[in-house]
């Protein structure tokens, strides 16, 4: 079989209908690049890579091969091409992140330890819960909005508040929870914010993951209010907003394994209503310059 290795940004027409929409958007950013593989007429595989020059590291965040071409070496060709490109920039590390089902072994045939790949390390747990069951949970009826707190939908956030939040990054909230990360994917009508005495102190950002499912992408409450249990308040109110859309049956929550507070919150309030669990696993290798 004859194949062609492409730089995706130079072949948009060939790959546009093959690549997932969120990956297409990432490829417009300077800190991402994409490699594709095609036959003479059709795209059959691609990978999207995020680069972090300051850490001399790159992360493969997507690697997709059309079903009928899997397991015949296409994955390795993509990885080899990515590594070759990274060597040109003197990168030192490459990681590969993937999602595995609960109970599934995280090994990937194309990530061999003999080729420098380490064992997979679980970074996060993905919980998929029934929105209907959550709404009928006893704790949902117990959580009330305290005095001086106000819940609002994200589409009513003011320009002044946007500036206030932007200026607070790495001060009162971590950059990784920035509400502007992949902002184009956020459903502003289903996402909410919380104010205390008129000042924004938290949010729950929601994305549509499928017609019947949403991703609760980012839940944050300032420390002094989180310690008072306001995280449960924001979670409950966020679920209530999502439940107003009848076609949405499921909610997906991604929780870092090191985030003990959020794991405890999830286990305490959501675990009885979880219908499926997955894990985000990361593999890592040092890029060799001996060959």
d(CA 248, CA 211): 7
Query: How do the pLDDT tens digits run along the chain, 291 residues long?
Result: 789 999 999 988 899 999 998 898 889 889 999 999 999 889 999 999 999 999 999 999 999 999 999 989 999 999 999 999 999 999 999 999 988 988 888 778 888 888 899 988 999 999 999 999 999 999 998 999 999 999 999 999 999 999 999 999 999 999 989 999 888 889 999 999 999 999 999 999 999 998 999 999 999 999 999 887 889 999 999 999 999 999 999 999 999 999 898 899 898 899 999 999 999 999 999 998 775
Contact 65, 35 (CB under 8 A): no
| 128-279 shares the fold of 4-123+280-286 | yes
CA distance 137 to 140: 6
Q: So where are the chain's domains?
A: 4-123+280-286, 128-279
pLDDT at residue 291 in the model = 56
Over residues 146-164, the pLDDT tens digits come to 999 999 999 999 999 999 9
pTM comes to: 0.80
| Alpha-helix runs per DSSP H in the chain | 12-15, 21-26, 74-88, 131-135, 138-142, 159-167, 223-226, 230-242, 260-269
Domain 128-279: which CATH number of 3.40.630.30, 3.40.50.410, 3.40.50.720, 3.30.2350.10? 3.40.630.30
CA distances from 83 to 77, 95, 211 (A): 10, 11, 36
- What fold, for 4-123+280-286? Aminopeptidase (3.40.630)
Angle at 94 between CA 12 and CA 117, to 5 degrees: 120
Residue range 84-108, pLDDT digits in tens:
999 999 999 999 998 898 888 877 8
Tokens describing residue 1: 């079989």
């Amino acid at each position: 079989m004859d194949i062609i290795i492409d730089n995706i940004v130079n072949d948009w027409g060939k790959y546009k209908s093959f690549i997932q929409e969120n990956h297409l958007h990432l490829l417009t950013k300077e800190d991402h690049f994409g490699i594709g593989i095609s036959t003479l007429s059709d795209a059959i595989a691609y990978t999207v890579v995020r680069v972090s020059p300051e850490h001399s590291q790159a992360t493969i965040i997507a690697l997709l091969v059309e079903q009928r071409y899997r397991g015949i070496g296409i994955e390795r060709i993509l990885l080899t091409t990515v590594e070759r490109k990274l060597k040109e920039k003197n990168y030192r590390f490459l990681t590969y992140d993937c999602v595995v089902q609960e109970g599934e072994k995280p090994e990937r045939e194309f990530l061999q330890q003999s080729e420098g790949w380490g064992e997979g390390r679980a970074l996060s747990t993905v919980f998929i819960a029934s929105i209907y069951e959550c709404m009928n949970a006893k704790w949902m009826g117990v959580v009330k909005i305290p005095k001086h707190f106000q819940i609002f939908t994200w589409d009513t956030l003011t320009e002044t508040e946007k500036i206030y939040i932007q200026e607070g990054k790495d001060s009162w909230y971590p950059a990784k929870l920035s509400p502007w990360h992949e902002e184009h994917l956020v459903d502003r009508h289903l996402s909410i914010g919380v104010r205390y005495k008129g000042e924004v102190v938290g949010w729950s950002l929601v994305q549509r993951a499928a017609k019947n499912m949403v991703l609760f992408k980012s839940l944050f409450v300032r420390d002094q209010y989180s310690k008072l249990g306001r995280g449960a308040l924001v979670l409950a109110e966020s679920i209530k907003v999502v439940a107003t859309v009848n076609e949405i049956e499921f909610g997906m929550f991604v929780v870092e394994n090191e985030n003990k507070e959020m794991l405890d919150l999830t286990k305490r309030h959501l675990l009885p209503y979880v219908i499926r669990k997955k894990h985000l696993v990361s593999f890592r290798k040092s890029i060799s310059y001996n060959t």
